[in-house]
Amino acid sequence: MYIQGFLVPVLPGKKDAYVKMANEVGEMFARYGALEIVEAFEEDVPNGESTDFRKAVKAEEGEKIVFSWVIWPDKKTCDEAAEKMMDDESMSPPEDMPFAGKRLVYGGFSPIYTHGRD
**What are the domain boundaries of the chain?**
2-109
Percentage above 70 pLDDT, the chain: 99
- Residue pLDDT, tens place only, 14-62: 999 999 999 999 999 999 999 999 999 999 999 999 999 999 999 999 9
Tell me which architecture the domain covering 2-109 has in CATH: 2-Layer Sandwich (3.30)
Give residue 72's pLDDT: 98
pLDDT of 118 > 70? The answer is no
Average pLDDT score over the chain: 94
Contact 19, 65 (CB under 8 A): no
Contact 70, 4 (CB under 8 A): yes
Instruction: Map residue 8 onto helix, strand or coil.
Output: strand
Task: Give the burial string for 62-94 (b: 16+ CB within 10 Å, else e).
Answer: ebbbbebebbbeeeebbeebeeeeeeeeeeeee
